[in-house]
Structure 1
C-alpha cells in the first residue's frame, strides 16, 4: 500500500540582486521534477553526491522549504493544499531526524525539555503522569536510560545524541520518518548501532522511512528501494539488491565502482569508473540529459532531449537514460575523454570516500 506519492516535485530557489529593489536573476534548481512512491512500512533510500538536492527533497516533503511545483500525497492527503493549523497538526504524522545531532539539539534544553517541546506544540502534554511514562518508554526504545531526561546534549556522545534526535522524532508517534544523513556525522563503529536501531524501531512500531545518504553501503544495508539523484533529478530507482547487481545508469555505475569491497581479491580484480569534469551548477544545469557533460556514453540525442524516468523491464527498475539497453549489452562505445576506466592491476585508484559497514 502506497503511503507517500511525490509527483513532479520542484523546489527552486531564486537568485536575488539589489539593495533597495530585489531583482530575480535566475533560480537554483535544487529539485527539478522528481517523482517517486514510498510504500507503507518500507525504507526508501535516496542517494547521491553532495549538492544533488536529496536533502532539499526531504525538507520539501515536510514543507520545511516550500515546493515550487508538483504534488505530495500522503496517505490520500494533498500535503501542499494544507494551510496554517492544518499543516501544523499534520506534521505530527511526519517527523525528521537531522544529520548533525549537536547542531539540531538546543544545548540550553535538557533532554526532557527537548522531548516535551513537540508534545506541547501538539497539545499532548496535559496528562503529566502519562507524558512522563511516554518519555521514559521512548528513551528505552532508543536504548537510553530514564536518567538521561535531566541531562543536556553536551553530556552525551555523538551516538547517544543521535539517539536523542531519534527519540524526539518518535515521541509524537509518526508514521513516516525522514532521516537526513542519520549516521554520516558518527564514527564508523557507531554507525552500525544506529542503523540497527532504526531497523528494530521499524519492525516494532511499523514505521516508514525515507533515508537520505551518500554512503551506498549504509543505504544497501537498510533500504528496500533505492533512488539515485543527480543534479536535482532522479536518474535511477530499483530494488536494493537489483540496483547493486545491475546498475543501468552511467552515474549509478560510477558511484558503485567507488564503493570499497571488503575482499582484497575482488577489490583488486574489478574495474572502476573515474568521471572527468566537475559537477555542473544547479543554477545552470545542462540542456537535455543533466549527466551528459560527464557521461562516457553520451550521444547527440542527449544534448537536446531530457530522458524520462522510464520502467526498464518487468522488474520495475526505472532509469532516466536513452541508451540504457545499449550500455547494458556493451554495444555502445565509451568516450575516453569523459571517463577513465581503471583496470585490475592499475596503479591509479579512485577516492573511495566514506567507510563501509560490513553486513553479514
Structure 2
C-alpha cells in the first residue's frame, strides 16, 4: 500500500529512555541504567502508517509509550504537529494527549473490568469536554461502535463478556472516542486468531481512510506489518538500524540484522522454504543494561569487520531513495564486496559494568524490562 507523501506530523529527535537500576535498602543508589531507547530519530508523515519491528526486548513498546509521554523521556524531543510534547506539563500535556491515543497490547488488562463499555468510552470524552450534549454523545457512542463493527447493545456489557477480538475493537473505539490524529497501536493483533487478525487490520485501514488517521504500529509479526505499513523501521537494542518503505525493506534489506529478521519469515511453499537462505544468529540479545560498544549488533553480525564495528557506533544515514541504514559497510554488503563469516557466540556479563562490588543486579530479562 502506498499513500502520497504528506507533511510531517510527528518528528522524534535523539530520543532516549534510560531506566535507573537501584540498589540498597536504606539508601537507594543508582548503580546503572537500562538503555531501553538510546538515540532514536524518525519522522512520520500525516496520514501514513509507520511500522516498528524488532525482536522482544529491543525497546519498541518503550519508544511508543515515550512518544505519548506514558514513559518519561530521558533526553531528546518529540515534536507533534509543531509542539514539543517532551516539554509539556500539566494541563497543556493533558490537552495534547487528546490528539494522541494508544491501543494497548492486551485488551483485557487495559480495560477496566468494573466499567461498562459505555462508561469506558465516555471516560475520555468527559475528560476532554466532548460530552456536553447528551443526545449528541449517545449518537457518538453508537457511531463509535458501528465504526468498529459492534452492536449497540454492547454499551451495557462489560469487558469479560466479549471475545479477544471484540475487546480489541473496544480498545480501538476508546482511542477513537476523543477524535485523535495519531494512534500508537502496540501489538494490536498479536493475541488474536488469524481470522480475527485480518478483521482488525482491515478495520484499522478502513478507519484510516475514513478519518485520515496516522498510525504507529508496533509488532513482531512481519507479515502483518508488511500488509499494513507504508514505511517500516527496524529496531535493535534501543535504536533504529534500518528504515524505508515496506516494499523496499522486504525486497532489498541492507542491514545484517534486517536480513536475519526477514529470513525467519516462513514461506508457504515447501520448495522455496527448503532452498531459500536462512540466517541463524549466534548468541543472545545483549542486555540493555550493558550494550556492546560500537555497533550494537556487532556481537552477532556475520559481516562484522575488524575496523569500526567494535569501536564506532554507526549513525542512521540515507543511502538513496529514502532508505536509511545504520551500518558502516551497508554498501559493501549489498554489492558483495564483503562476505559473511561464522560468528562465535559471546558471553555478555554485567559484572563490572555497573558495580563490581555488588555484582549483577536482578533486573530481569530484556522482555520483562521493556
Q: TM-score, normalised by structure 2?
A: 0.90
1:234 corresponds in structure 2 to 240
Q: Is the CA contact 1:295–1:338 (under 8 Å) kept in the aligned structure 2?
A: no
Computed over aligned residues only, the root mean square deviation of the Cα atoms, in angstroms, reads: 0.9
Matches of 1:136 and 1:263 in 2, distance apart?
Answer: 44
User: In the TM superposition, what whole-angstrom CA distance separates every residue of 1:206-261 from its partner, at most 9, and x where no partner exists?
Assistant: 00000000111000000000000000000000000000000000000000000012
1:217 aligns with 2:223: yes
1:267 aligns with 2:283: no
Deviation at 1:338, TM superposition (A): 4.6
1:42 corresponds in structure 2 to 48
User: In the TM superposition, what whole-angstrom CA distance separates every residue of 1:320-346 from its partner, at most 9, and x where no partner exists?
Assistant: 00011111122212221359xxxxxxx
Matches of 2:270 and 2:323 in 1, distance apart?
Answer: 30
1:181 aligns with 2:164: no
Shift >6 Å, 4+ stretches: none
Matches of 1:189 and 1:250 in 2, distance apart?
Answer: 33
2:318 corresponds in structure 1 to 311
Q: Is the CA contact 1:41–1:202 (under 8 Å) kept in the aligned structure 2?
A: yes
Q: TM-score, normalised by structure 1?
A: 0.93
Matches within 5 A, 1:145-294: 145-294=151-300
Matches within 5 A, 1:76-91: 76-91=82-97
Structure 1: segments with no counterpart, 5+ residues: 340-360
The DSSP-based 3-state class of the residue aligned with 2:120 is: helix
Structure 2: segments with no counterpart, 5+ residues: 1-6, 346-370
Q: Is the CA contact 1:275–1:338 (under 8 Å) kept in the aligned structure 2?
A: no
Q: Is the CA contact 2:20–2:34 (under 8 Å) kept in the aligned structure 1?
A: yes
The DSSP-based 3-state class of the residue aligned with 2:192 is: coil
1:20 corresponds in structure 2 to 26
Count, aligned residues: 338
The DSSP-based 3-state class of the residue aligned with 2:190 is: coil
The DSSP-based 3-state class of the residue aligned with 2:240 is: strand
The one of 54, 58, 62 equivalent to 1:52 is: 58
